[in-house]
Amino acid sequence: MSKIALLTQETIDKIAAGEVVERPSSVVKELVENAIDAKATAITIEIKEGGISFIRISDNGCGIEKSEVPLAFLRHSTSKIRSVEDLLSVSSLGFRGEALSSIAAVSRVELITKTPDSLTGVRYQIEGSKEVAFEEIGAPDGTTFLVKDLFYNTPARKKFLKSAQTEGSYIADMVEKLALSHPDISFKFIQNNQTKLHTSGNGNIKDLIYHVFGREISNSVLPVVLENELFSVTGYIGKPVITRGNRNFEIYFINGRYVKSQLLSKAIEEAYKSFLMQHQYPFCVLYFTFQGESLDVNVHPTKMELRFDNNQEVYQYLCDGLYEVLSHKEMIPEVPVAEEKKAPVLVREYKESIPEPFEARRLNQIRSQEAIFPAGQLDRVRESIKKDSPYEIKYPLQEKMKQTQVAEKSEYHVDSDTVKYENITLESISSDFLTKDAKKKHRIIGQLFKTYWLVEFEDKLFIVDQHAAHEKVLYERTMATLKEKEYTSQTISPPIILSLDANEILMLEKYKDSIAKMGYEVESFGGKEYMISAIPANLFKVDMKDLFIEMLDDFTNLSGRETPELILEKVASMSCKAAVKGNQNLSFSEFDALIEELLTLDNPYNCPHGRPTIISMTKYEIEKKFKRII
């Protein structure tokens, strides 16, 4: 057994630093939260190379007294608490006193600070926990931290950092959340000498949404003001026209801190359920106020998960409150009636179970707490339980058509005539139907439900899904173009202007080569704005703005190990959005042209998502339904 020995203070500091400083965004978070606690009204964050080589945080707060500067970099030094009892009343963002010590242990730090009462400021340098310089200097009121060469003395940690662009996107996202959580503070974020965000700090939430997310979103939000005995919430939610393919735009704060909560997310999404398509997520910026005793919060400052004492009531109140906002008269035209108007009654279905940890106890809670629920809510929750019942009928996904499936051999009599059906494979049916010779014998009957086309061929009825068929044609055509490198673009005028968030910008930069190969021409338009001046030539009659953002959101699901071919396939699949939709009229000549396109495909029988494009029914099956055959 090796001998037991005490670690050196330098090693202890580096180990402790690993608990607080995970990446450049950790440094920014700790220093900005310190600036907020110092009562700053203006904070500037500047980074270079994703914050790996350079971070500068400046504020106009109260500063640090000269005598306290060296103490600030010692472990467990803090101005927030003095005893264990103070932990129960901590209201500031950080209190453990490990941030500066941890940052100084793994980087080169320079601090310039001045209090309003001092004539001069102080300049303090510390590298790897070792003091380098301590002197007086002329400086404005407030504090500036300069952090250079993060992890310069712990190369093992540094190699696990991601690219400078990715690390920068983490910081940009964090700064946005910090700015949104403190609307009364002016935030300025500079990345590689370019100003990416600058908020006014005037306390106006809608102005803040404009600065962070752009004009389009700020013009499409609805105000929220809800209050009950459990919590109050104010802020804005997006109209259903604002959607994303992930939860990145579901932003909410509890008692001033950005958090994540499965309960709140489920309640928000349930309120939007009847307004959004499946797998689409809403936009919201909401500010909750809860009493401290009603929350279960881990005091670790980086902990973002939390639980509530009254889970069910919180879920119900939030869900119904947001649903009422979405059902406002601005969203639904009001129909005048002669009789006196009555207060609207919410009639909704909860199709998803209320999240853990209380799901198993819902029924007992409802029975014991009936008096808490407003009128009508109890019935809706009971309906939810009924829908969550294990006895609910589940329909399995339809299996793919087997090419060699064999129809049963049957003999039957019709009056005095005997008809015999021999074994027929589905493969031969499909192959016969989609050939040039067979097409001459097609008798197009017409369009059904503005979605399906009925075609008689020999003794069978073929039903073609126009949307699925056109999707497959566009996908195959796009993939062939990419393979042959013959893609073409169409210039659009006026160009499309998009406001992208930090993650969407990251996806655009990361996959810009694949996007350009498709025929898109995209360039920066200043700040968060980007301009699309050309799109693939095969995209028409499609909302390009939503399509492009959906494509960027879809890229976030990539693991990073995909081959260029798979990435291009993912981009190409977006061309399917230009396919004719269900419930859309087509002329006979347009459908005939669609069949011609299907004839050119190697596999025209399934759309890119696996759904069948064509199904068939034999004359025998139809006659059996009409009891012409017994």
Residues 605 and 500 in one domain: yes
Q: Does the predicted TM-score (pTM) go above 0.85?
A: no
Q: Is residue 395 part of a domain?
A: no
- Start-end of H helices in 346-417: 362-368, 377-387
Q: Decide which of 334 and 322 is more confident.
A: 322
Rg for the chain, CA atoms, rounded: 32
Q: Is residue 378 part of a domain?
A: yes
Q: Decide which of 75 and 95 is more confident.
A: 75
Closest CA to 43 of 160, 156, 179: 179
Report pLDDT digits (tens) over 368-415: 444 434 444 434 433 443 443 333 323 233 333 333 333 333 333 333
The answer to whether 70 and 134 have CB atoms below 8 angstroms apart is yes
The H-or-E segment that residue 136 falls in is strand 130-137
Report pLDDT digits (tens) over 510-554: 888 888 877 889 999 888 889 999 887 766 656 678 778 877 887
pLDDT at 423: 36
- Per-chain mean pLDDT for the chain: 76
Residues 62 and 148 in one domain: yes
Strand partners, 559: none
Amino acid identity of residue 469, one-letter, is: A
- Read off the tokens for 378: 């109890």
Q: Is residue 545 part of a domain?
A: yes
CA trace torsion 190, 192, 193, 195 (10° rounding): -30
d(CA 269, CA 53): 40
Residues 544 and 571 in one domain: yes
pLDDT at 480: 76
pLDDT at 268: 94
The answer to whether 75 and 159 have CB atoms below 8 angstroms apart is no
The answer to whether 114 and 141 have CB atoms below 8 angstroms apart is yes
pLDDT at 481: 72
pLDDT at 611: 78
d(CA 575, CA 558): 18
- Start-end of H helices in 141-197: 155-158, 164-181
Residues 256 and 297 in one domain: yes
Residues 6+ apart with CB under 8 A from 183: 199, 201, 202, 203, 204, 205, 208
Residue 270 maps to which CATH number?
A: 3.30.230.10
Q: Is residue 502 part of a domain?
A: yes
Q: How far is CA 97 from the centre of its chain?
A: 34
pLDDT at 330: 45
- Read off the tokens for 418: 């005997």
Is the pLDDT assigned to residue 435 strictly greater than 90? no
Query: How confident is the model over 421-437, as a mean pLDDT?
Result: 54
Residues 361 and 411 in one domain: no
Is the pLDDT assigned to residue 223 strictly greater than 70? yes
b/e map of 110-127 (b: 16 or more CB within 10 Å)?
bbbbbbeeeeebbbbbbb
Q: Decide which of 40 and 610 is more confident.
A: 40
* Top-confidence range, 25-29, 354-358, 370-374, 509-513: 25-29
Report pLDDT digits (tens) over 189-209: 999 999 999 999 999 999 999
Query: How confident is the model over 347-367, as a mean pLDDT?
Result: 38
Q: Decide which of 475 and 33 is more confident.
A: 33
Q: Is residue 179 part of a domain?
A: yes
Residue 158 maps to which CATH number?
A: 3.30.565.10
Amino acid identity of residue 174, one-letter, is: M
User: Whats the size of the chain, residue-wise?
Assistant: 630
pLDDT-based confidence at residue 446 (cuts at 50, 70, 90):
very high
Residues 383 and 483 in one domain: no
The answer to whether 224 and 286 have CB atoms below 8 angstroms apart is yes
Structural domain span for residue 363: 220-329+348-387
Residues 155 and 300 in one domain: no
The answer to whether 55 and 146 have CB atoms below 8 angstroms apart is yes
pLDDT-based confidence at residue 563 (cuts at 50, 70, 90):
low
d(CA 498, CA 494): 13
Residues 242 and 265 in one domain: yes
pLDDT at 233: 94
Residues 596 and 448 in one domain: yes
Residues 61 and 139 in one domain: yes
Q: Is residue 336 part of a domain?
A: no
CA trace torsion 433, 434, 438, 443 (10° rounding): 70
d(CA 14, CA 21): 10
Report pLDDT digits (tens) over 496-510: 998 888 888 888 988
Report pLDDT digits (tens) over 147-178: 999 999 888 888 889 999 999 999 999 999 99
Is the pLDDT assigned to residue 245 strictly greater than 50? yes
The answer to whether 42 and 141 have CB atoms below 8 angstroms apart is no
Domain tally for the chain? 3
The answer to whether 531 and 491 have CB atoms below 8 angstroms apart is no
pLDDT at 463: 93
Query: How confident is the model over 549-572, as a mean pLDDT?
Result: 68
Report pLDDT digits (tens) over 572-614: 666 666 778 777 888 999 999 999 988 888 778 877 776 788 9
Residues 191 and 43 in one domain: yes
d(CA 628, CA 622): 9
pLDDT at 4: 60
- CA end-to-end span of the chain: 88
Q: Decide which of 49 and 364 is more confident.
A: 49
pLDDT at 190: 95
Q: Is residue 563 part of a domain?
A: yes
d(CA 286, CA 227): 13
- Start-end of H helices in 369-424: 377-387
* Top-confidence range, 74-83, 263-272, 517-526: 263-272
CA trace torsion 2, 4, 9, 14 (10° rounding): 50
Q: Is residue 611 part of a domain?
A: yes
Closest CA to 381 of 368, 394, 393: 368
Angle made by CA atoms 381, 382, 388, in degrees to the nearest 5: 90
d(CA 261, CA 251): 10
Residue 485 maps to which CATH number?
A: 3.30.1540.20
Residues 536 and 604 in one domain: yes
* Range from 103-112, 266-275, 397-406 carrying the lowest mean pLDDT: 397-406
Is the pLDDT assigned to residue 366 strictly greater than 60? no
Query: How confident is the model over 66-82, as a mean pLDDT?
Result: 69
pLDDT at 163: 92
